[in-house]
Structure 1
Amino acid sequence: MRYYQVGEEGASRLVLETDGDVYDLTAANSSVEAFGDLARAASIADTDIDEIASRLTDSAPTLSAETATDSLQTPVHADEVWAAGVTYHISEKARQEESTKPEMYLDVYEADRPEVFLKATPNRLVGPDDAVGIRNDSEWDVPEPELGVVLYKGDIVGYTVGNDMSSRSIEGENPLYLPQAKVYDRCCSIGPCVRSASSLDDPHDLEMWMTIQRDGETMYEDTTSTGEMVRTVHELVDCYTDHNAVPDLSVLLTGTALVPDEGFTLRDDDVVDIGIEDIGRLSNDVTTV
């Protein structure tokens, strides 16, 4: 089951796509205006979000299939987005190449404790078809496609597609500059939907791909699998939630294996498309902030 947030500001609604049918859940119950409302109801009822949604479909009007992809908004209003790094061999290699202290990334790759850091707050987060940002004071900027884990009160309730924008030039100067390289205006995008955890067989066996277009020309195209992760989703979630004041609704990005070659940097008006099997495709253009 896939959950989308659609409509304009002030008239947003939550819709469900399942088995080719699209249902307006907000029309069935005005209290369910967003994915967080559904997660809260499921938590109170001590059941699964798909079970709550299935009950609503009995009275929910159906919509055209195009509605689920029209006027898309950020699919989950997460209070915080966190991210994990150096979770794939290729990301460990890439971080070593960009850094003045490459041994630090090798140590993280081989360590028991993963790298987990705060990525974005709601005012820094964008959704599908909105522009992600590159810093005006950065010379080397790349997107990082990642599987996103949606959590409610620390429990995994769904998955989404994430773009963890990164200034490699700033981080490469000194690892202590990581917050500036990672956390800024429009530094992160998630979407286009939330795929419920109970309807996804295995988050560790999904094809993931990314393309970057510039003036209609493909500048980058590659694929990988979440099976290449050296850490499990649950391991990363445990590290994020342990000893931490986790908000009710949050997203944890799980790292990347797709990084453009050294020498490539994003420019204004580039278009980044990220897809993850059985979840969806997230598309954003690029702007300088």
Structure 2
Amino acid sequence: MLAECLPADWRDARLLGRVMTSAGPSPVLARGGRLYDLSSHVATTAQAVALDDLETAGVDLGPLDELTVASAWSTQGLQLLSPLDLQCIKASGVTFAVSALERVIEERARGDADAANAVRQSILDRIGGDLKDLRPGSEQAEAVKAQLIAEGLWSQYLEVAIGPYAEIFTKAPVLASVGWGAEVGVRADSAWNNPEPEVVVICDPAGRPVGASLGNDVNLRDIEGRSALLLGKAKDNNASASVGPFIRLFDDGFGMDDVRSATVRLEVEGTDGFVMTGESSMSLISRDPEELVRQTLSAHQYPDGFALYLGTMFAPIDDRDAPGKGFTHKIGDRVRVSSEKLGVLENIVAACDQAPPWRFGVLELMRNLAGRGLLGAAA
């Protein structure tokens, strides 16, 4: 049922999303416990988030607790798409101390999971808990940086973890993200990879945060660990960016402070019986979400708005196949990312070249909207 993947207080939330209809993708709004098709009023969610008042009812699709949803493992019901369409899909990395350490470990281990444990312990012995209390760019951070350089432990990952500039990169092309129930992809040539459960902030064309969603910023640790210059190969692959199930719009009942205090939970369940759980507390983030938004806007404009993955502190080290081997995905893994006020984002892992190929780009979307007579709604 659709209601099972929604926030705990879904009856009071305003949830913006997209569904695939027989005519094509349509923006929808969940409000007052019901789902409405907005396509006759707004053609895209990028347009919808730019509106000051998104209360138009649209076509009533029914009560949320009676609607079913289709998925890669069940074909009955509404097909939820990623709630993003024309928004640029950006991501921030190394925004938590634990994440920073794991990136240093990847770099020092050169993508070798067997060497990671020894590197991890060596770094923890040297710097202890210094990172978790640092404010990036502060005098204290600069002092720790000098100490690490002197001890031969400096890393480009620590530069973005405690230095003045955040790591901001493009996660996926416009329209390439996948939504709830879809297959999420890892490259077949990766032997060390993991999910990254995150909060995703959605901003309007003026750069104002207007809502939030859940995301899985799939990461290939072995590939990025060989060289940071391989970030694009590690991060931007077919079906590797998952967002959903909906964008929860900011209002009197939900805002940026809820993002700051959110706990993001992860569960991975494999067909081999392996189960891994964990959680990431946004209260431990090193840079405030609004600072990350400002840095994203510092040298660019986004006329269709943008979505920004905020990073994760969750870096799984659970041994899956053998002691010291750590965690890596297997095909068929069921991945659930959840947070009380954002709902549940659920996907199943596939090889990137076996997941449905991305073919519905901007030109195809414009053709579809024109054929449906909806481009006037986008004016």
| TM-score, length-scaled by structure 1 | 0.87
What is the correspondence of 1:112-131 to structure 2 with a 5 Å cutoff?
A: 112-122=164-174, 124-131=176-183
Q: Residues 164 and 73 from structure 1, CA distance in 2 versus in 1: closer, same or farther, beyond 3 angstroms?
A: same
CA drift of 1:138 comes to: 1.5
Deviations 1:57-104 (Å, cap 9, x if unpaired)?
A: 3x7536121438532111121442111011111111111221128622
Q: Is the 8 A contact 1:13 1:24 kept in 2?
A: no
| Residue type at the aligned position of 2:227 | N
Residue 282 of structure 1 is matched in structure 2 by 345
User: Of 312, 322, 336, which residue of structure 2 is paired with 1:256?
Assistant: 312
Q: Residues 134 and 24 from structure 1, CA distance in 2 versus in 1: closer, same or farther, beyond 3 angstroms?
A: same
- 2:299 is the alignment partner of 1:243: yes
Residue 38 of structure 1 is matched in structure 2 by 48
What is the correspondence of 1:185-264 to structure 2 with a 5 Å cutoff?
A: 185-198=238-251, 199-201=253-255, 202=257, 203-215=259-271, 217-261=273-317, 263-264=326-327
CA drift of 1:228 comes to: 1.1
User: Of 81, 84, 97, which residue of structure 1 is paired with 2:89?
Assistant: 81
| Residue type at the aligned position of 1:24 | Y
- Which stretches in structure 2 are left out of the alignment for 5+ residues? 1-13, 70-77, 109-152, 318-324, 353-379
Residue 8 of structure 1 is matched in structure 2 by 21
Q: Is the 8 A contact 2:37 2:61 kept in 1?
A: no
Higher strand share: 1
Q: Is the 8 A contact 1:6 1:73 kept in 2?
A: yes
Partners of 2:22 and 2:287 lie apart in 1 by: 38
Computing the radius of gyration from Cα coordinates, the structure with the larger value is 2
Residue 52 of structure 1 is matched in structure 2 by 54
Q: Residues 18 and 52 from structure 1, CA distance in 2 versus in 1: closer, same or farther, beyond 3 angstroms?
A: closer
Q: CA RMSD in A?
A: 2.1
Deviations 1:24-76 (Å, cap 9, x if unpaired)?
A: 142xx713243223224x1xxxx3xxx332xx23x753612143853211112
What is the correspondence of 1:56-75 to structure 2 with a 5 Å cutoff?
A: 56-57=56-57, 61=60, 63-65=62-64, 66-67=66-67, 69=69, 70-75=78-83
Q: Is the 8 A contact 1:79 1:121 kept in 2?
A: no
Aligned residues: 275
CA drift of 1:23 comes to: 3.5
CA drift of 1:227 comes to: 0.8
- 2:272 is the alignment partner of 1:183: no
Deviations 1:156-195 (Å, cap 9, x if unpaired)?
A: 1111111111110011111111111111211211000000
Q: Is the 8 A contact 1:150 1:157 kept in 2?
A: yes
Q: Residues 271 and 23 from structure 1, CA distance in 2 versus in 1: closer, same or farther, beyond 3 angstroms?
A: closer
Partners of 1:22 and 1:62 lie apart in 2 by: 7
| TM-score, length-scaled by structure 2 | 0.68
CA drift of 1:134 comes to: 0.8
- 2:206 is the alignment partner of 1:139: no
Residue 22 of structure 1 is matched in structure 2 by 34
| Residue type at the aligned position of 2:177 | L
CA drift of 1:11 comes to: 4.0
Partners of 1:208 and 1:146 lie apart in 2 by: 7
Partners of 1:12 and 1:287 lie apart in 2 by: 23
Partners of 1:114 and 1:9 lie apart in 2 by: 42
| Residue type at the aligned position of 2:54 | I
Residue 212 of structure 2 is matched in structure 1 by 159
Q: Residues 236 and 246 from structure 1, CA distance in 2 versus in 1: closer, same or farther, beyond 3 angstroms?
A: same
Q: Percent identity?
A: 27
Partners of 1:259 and 1:120 lie apart in 2 by: 21
Q: Tell me the SS of whatever aligns to 2:341.
A: coil
- Which stretches in structure 1 are left out of the alignment for 5+ residues? none
Q: Residues 266 and 251 from structure 1, CA distance in 2 versus in 1: closer, same or farther, beyond 3 angstroms?
A: same
